[in-house]
Structure 1
Amino acid sequence: MRHRQEVVVGKSNRTIEKKNSVWAVIFRTTKEHKALSGGLFCATIGAILTTLLPPLVLARIIDGITREQGLSAMLILSYFGFLACTGLLEATREALLTVFGQKMTHALRSSLMEKFTNLTTEGITRQEPGVLVSRFIGDVDTVENLFTSGIVSMVADSCKIISILVVIRYRNPGLALLLVLLLPGIFAFTRYVQKNTLAAEISNRKAVARASGHVPETLHNIRTVHCLGKERYMKERYDGYITDSYRALEKTNFYDSVYSPVILILNAVVVAMIMMLSASGNSKVLMFFGMSAGTAVAVMNYISQIFAPVESLGMEIQTIQTAMAGIHRINEFFEMEEIGEIEERAPNSGENIERKVPLLEFDHVTFGYDEHIVLKDMTFRVEEGEQVTLSGRTGAGKSTIFKLLLGLYSPEAGEVLVSGIPATKVPPSEKRKWFGYVEQSYHMVPGTVAEQITLYDESVSREQVKRAARLAGLDSEIETLEEGYDTRCVPELFSQGQWQLLSIARAIVAEPKILLLDEITANLDAETEHQVMQALKRASEKRTVVAISHRVSGEMGRVINI
């Protein structure tokens, strides 16, 4: 039975909040903009109510004419006044919807970026760039469309249908009964279209995400593609993604094109049936369907007002289902593990350990990228204070071992342990205290010389920066600069060897227990290499060192062949 160190470290200052979701962001934004939300609600309700009045006024006008009572100027003014109010309220609703949608988009993108900055390293490295970008752009845009031309309009249309049915109930009970019998069938048909459209939209968005990620992937590896003659293969993969997208779109367009004609035909059939029944002359039939000329005009108007929003519902289904697919993908992103949610157990040398464990351990580790296995059943240990060299051919997996030690990836099988703790469980805030990583090439960040070393870590003091620079053998060179450690860095400020010394200072400034060295002298001349090796000798004292080297002369300590 393996004994592991079980040490609970203090909780971070950041409070772990409940996971976000699209609906939580929407609810929060609605509360933050109460005036906007209230105005949108009032405009929507007002537009629904004023829509019911013009047909009733028109019925009274026509009935007055047929009864030879003459035209009423007040009724005519009321009719056009209600039409004007309806148009004004609907225009106000659309304007407020646009503003509300923009507020929602801003809040959603801000929440996504906050989530992104709190993701674990493994979560970020596992994300395909194209898929990630599509969530921030395409999926968020679909959520905005959900409000600007989707769910609010759908609710308004539903309320309008219910209100019209109530009015028709008192004007023509038979028609109301007929419509009530028809609505379940319309609803069932709508649900059928809805489900199939949603499935097609999800398939389309997945295909588009794969196609979006394929383009930068091809550009990034274009030299390899040309070298291996894989142009046709990459083209066929892209064509496959586009074909999948087209097939999904064809399904969506089919259901969208079928829905509207069915609703329009049903509208015409209902109007014809009502007119025939009201003119039948049968007293029993007329009890339910009889009506005056004015009521007939109002009823036909109301029937159009019922089927028009039902048709709109069909038009909005695609928008809503597209948005639901986007919401589904965004919520998947929100559900990814954050830094603060990692099990708060980290190695701590100050605690008592039941049994001494290796500082670093690969325990029957297997790992690969996609289908290509790089490491298979690898086992080795590195004790505290030991210096080892990883040696092997290019592509054998030496740099991959470093990524696994740093917890950037999880092994497919086996365990990667740091002082008995899985490497992926070491909190990111603690990693710099455990690992110092020196790469082959220096990666400059915007800022001063001091910021190159601290990487904007405010917990690192100026004294620590100077001590790290002294150990790296670069302090005298920095002191000769016009502004010393506060000098802004540009590529020509240091030589290649000096940049590598700065990289060593960056790695050791937080006084880590372990140094990881990735072939750091591969591109240096003999004199500069000697200078860098002397700096490494000073930096490696009282530390565990794991180095990658192809040359025997560069090896230190025990050699592990990969």
Structure 2
Amino acid sequence: MQRRPQEKKTMKRNTRSVIFQTLRCSKGLTLLGQCVTGNLRRALSDKLSRLTADRLTKLEPGAAVSRFVGDVDTVETLFTSGIISIAADLCKVVGIFVIIGGKNPGLVLMLLLLVPVIFAFTRFVQKRSLKAQVENRNAVAKAANHVPETIHNIRTIHTLEKEEYMEQRYSGYIGESYAAMKKTNFFDAIYSPVILLFNAVVTAAVLILSATGIPVVKTFFGMSVGTAVAMISYIPQVFSLLESIGMEIQTIQSAVAGVHRIDEFLAQPERWDTDEGPRFIEDAPCVELKDVCFGYVSEQEVLHDLSFQLLPGEHLTLIGRTGAGKSTIFKLLLGQYQPQSGHVRIHGQEAALIPDFAKRRIFGYVEQTFHPVPGTVADQIRLFDETIKPDMVESAARVVGLHHAIALLPDGYQTTYAPDLFSQGQAQLLSIARTIAAQPEILLLDEITANLDADTEQTVLAALRKASQNRTVLSISHRFYEQAGGKQLHI
């Protein structure tokens, strides 16, 4: 029976486990905070690389950035200032209690009875403040994501005259943040006056009880005038320290809100386990889809009982309306998604079980637009793959007819890439060179000439014909089918 890939269980890793692991190897709270920050960001980065394609497409960039930056920074603040300040204030409170206990034990008892009340009130404020902090961080993440989204789609926004709509959305996010901050400020505002009220009540009670003539009461609260003056000066210090601790708890609450958001991110499901390497079956079809059913939403199928095969060296062009599932087939072949039912196989092996490190030698995927990476022109083709040697980079550029243009650059292949170095057509040729540099067996071509003029289109198609020789090709380009031939499949 064919083994079905199972979804990988989420790593049992959260913010607390990262912090505890850091505690073992760090000395000093400031150093600990820096170590925790570094380890949390590494854990988040590792988690990001393990997310499923479905999670990645739904993840808002602004929300992810806010977790890496804002939320992690609040956790660092917890160690660099919050804990240190609270520890210092608690030591001061204990010291004052010891001094007061020697002079007026009744006052100590009264303060000890009030501490649970103050603690309960502090918890009341904390819970509501934490909720408001989380609401604010979520709203800020939405607002942060809205700005680059608007810039990226600015032409579409202008064309469809949706400026007011985008402005209203942004105003809504700012409004949510403002409402959450109002709640936080309200709880901050009521906390100090309540502590001051406790201070006044205790001071008045101690003075009244110390002046009473009842012997039992005088045993606990009786004191001289000088002692009374000293006690009156100590009482505000105690409540000032308690108030300071309460305000420092707000720093902790902000960190806790950050921890909750980080834990939400770390708890997301990860990609399924893959095989250790390619396990191809001899004489199996190069590409095979059998009874495949798939939908991004379970109740809305994009593909229903789809079946076809491709033998090595065959060319197939997918034909169908927009949204029919042509690009979805590519995603299934690349193992980014698993079908709800049926099989997607490469040489008899389930596509979802092929490990990532092996895919570049199997698949070459040419997208509609070229996506550059930081680095040289050679890096655009090599993609920092050390197994692709300079002669392989040059060979790929020669196949697509781009070697001469690159040789004319100031530093040839070592010229730092910039968008103005190549025309749109040359950038697409660079994309094809990148695809074939690793000498993949299967080419996936996704509407590669959709945004090109007629002359440039012919140049790119000619390069593709050369690149497709002796390779299995799956294409969504009707123009490529007209020139290269092969089979067609209506989706």
Same fold (TM over 0.5): yes
Counterparts of 2:337 and 2:142, CA distance in 1: 22
Counterparts of 1:242 and 1:362, CA distance in 2: 48
Counterparts of 2:142 and 2:122, CA distance in 1: 30
Match of 1:107 in 2: 38
Counterparts of 1:113 and 1:389, CA distance in 2: 40
- Matched residue of 1:150: which SS? helix
CA displacement, residues 434-461 of structure 1 (integer Å, 9 cap, x when unaligned) = 2101223334444444333211100223
Say whether 1:375 aligns with 2:375: no
Match of 1:363 in 2: 292
> What is the correspondence of 1:388-407 to structure 2 with a 5 Å cutoff?
388-394=316-322, 396-407=324-335
Match of 1:241 in 2: 173
CA displacement, residues 432-490 of structure 1 (integer Å, 9 cap, x when unaligned) = 12210122333444444433321110022334334434544555766787866545555
One-letter code aligned to 1:363: V
Question: Which has the higher mean CA deviation after the structures are superposed, 127-136 or 241-250?
Answer: 241-250
TM-superposed deviation, 1:274: 1.0
- Matched residue of 2:473: which SS? strand
Say whether 1:557 aligns with 2:486: yes
CA displacement, residues 344-381 of structure 1 (integer Å, 9 cap, x when unaligned) = 3266254579x87954567111126x99x793547243
TM-superposed deviation, 1:541: 3.5
Q: 1:209 to 1:378 in 2, by over 3 A?
A: farther
CA displacement, residues 128-176 of structure 1 (integer Å, 9 cap, x when unaligned) = 1111221233223322332344233223333433343344333222222
- Matched residue of 1:390: which SS? strand
Counterparts of 2:286 and 2:306, CA distance in 1: 15
Say whether 1:299 aligns with 2:231: yes
Contact 1:435/1:513, CA 8 A, preserved across alignment: yes
> What is the correspondence of 1:455-534 to structure 2 with a 5 Å cutoff?
455-474=383-402, 485-486=413-414, 489=417, 497-523=425-451, 529-534=457-462
Counterparts of 2:328 and 2:149, CA distance in 1: 20
Contact 2:331/2:337, CA 8 A, preserved across alignment: yes
Q: Which has the larger radius of gyration?
A: 1
Contact 1:108/1:140, CA 8 A, preserved across alignment: no
Say whether 1:289 aligns with 2:221: yes
Counterparts of 2:100 and 2:42, CA distance in 1: 46
Contact 1:22/1:330, CA 8 A, preserved across alignment: yes
Contact 2:71/2:261, CA 8 A, preserved across alignment: yes
CA displacement, residues 310-338 of structure 1 (integer Å, 9 cap, x when unaligned) = 11233223322121111221233344567
Contact 2:317/2:476, CA 8 A, preserved across alignment: yes
TM-superposed deviation, 1:270: 0.8
Q: 1:445 to 1:217 in 2, by over 3 A?
A: closer
Q: Which among 450, 457, 471 is matched to residue 378 of structure 2? A: 450
Q: Which among 323, 345, 355 is matched to residue 275 of structure 2? A: 345
TM-superposed deviation, 1:264: 0.8
Counterparts of 1:336 and 1:421, CA distance in 2: 27
> What is the correspondence of 1:39-188 to structure 2 with a 5 Å cutoff?
103=34, 107=38, 111=42, 114-115=45-46, 118-120=49-51, 122=53, 123-188=55-120
- Matched residue of 1:367: which SS? coil
TM-superposed deviation, 1:389: 1.0
Q: Which among 103, 128, 148 is matched to residue 196 of structure 1? A: 128
CA displacement, residues 15-44 of structure 1 (integer Å, 9 cap, x when unaligned) = xxx87654455556666663x54xxxxxxx
- Matched residue of 1:511: which SS? coil
- Matched residue of 2:213: which SS? coil
Match of 2:471 in 1: 543
Counterparts of 1:230 and 1:508, CA distance in 2: 41
| Number of residue-to-residue matches in the alignment | 484
Counterparts of 1:525 and 1:256, CA distance in 2: 62
The alignment's TM-score, normalised by the length of structure 2, stands at 0.83
Q: 1:19 to 1:427 in 2, by over 3 A?
A: farther
Counterparts of 2:44 and 2:25, CA distance in 1: 19
Contact 1:347/1:418, CA 8 A, preserved across alignment: no
> What is the correspondence of 1:259-298 to structure 2 with a 5 Å cutoff?
259-298=191-230
- Matched residue of 1:364: which SS? strand
Contact 2:442/2:473, CA 8 A, preserved across alignment: yes
Match of 1:3 in 2: 2
CA displacement, residues 273-302 of structure 1 (integer Å, 9 cap, x when unaligned) = 111111112222111111233332332233
Match of 1:47 in 2: none
Say whether 1:433 aligns with 2:432: no
CA displacement, residues 97-137 of structure 1 (integer Å, 9 cap, x when unaligned) = 6x876x36863675367437744472544321111221233
The alignment's TM-score, normalised by the length of structure 1, stands at 0.73
Identity of matched residues, %: 51
Contact 1:374/1:397, CA 8 A, preserved across alignment: no
Counterparts of 2:330 and 2:80, CA distance in 1: 49
Q: 1:315 to 1:499 in 2, by over 3 A?
A: closer
Contact 2:465/2:484, CA 8 A, preserved across alignment: no
- Structure 1: 5+ residue stretches without partners: 7-17, 38-96
CA displacement, residues 67-87 of structure 1 (integer Å, 9 cap, x when unaligned) = xxxxxxxxxxxxxxxxxxxxx
- Matched residue of 1:417: which SS? strand
Match of 1:93 in 2: none
Q: 1:382 to 1:310 in 2, by over 3 A?
A: farther
Contact 2:37/2:72, CA 8 A, preserved across alignment: no
- Note the aligned Cα RMSD (angstroms): 3.9
Contact 1:207/1:242, CA 8 A, preserved across alignment: yes
Q: 1:170 to 1:487 in 2, by over 3 A?
A: closer
Q: 1:357 to 1:430 in 2, by over 3 A?
A: closer
Match of 2:8 in 1: none
CA displacement, residues 186-219 of structure 1 (integer Å, 9 cap, x when unaligned) = 2112111111111121122112212222232233
Contact 1:415/1:422, CA 8 A, preserved across alignment: no
Counterparts of 1:189 and 1:472, CA distance in 2: 72
Contact 1:5/1:421, CA 8 A, preserved across alignment: no
- Matched residue of 2:295: which SS? strand
Counterparts of 2:282 and 2:115, CA distance in 1: 72
Contact 2:294/2:301, CA 8 A, preserved across alignment: no
Match of 2:263 in 1: 331
Say whether 1:417 aligns with 2:344: yes
Counterparts of 1:197 and 1:5, CA distance in 2: 47
Contact 1:360/1:383, CA 8 A, preserved across alignment: no
One-letter code aligned to 1:438: V
Counterparts of 2:407 and 2:182, CA distance in 1: 68
TM-superposed deviation, 1:547: 0.7
Counterparts of 1:269 and 1:526, CA distance in 2: 86
Counterparts of 2:419 and 2:4, CA distance in 1: 44
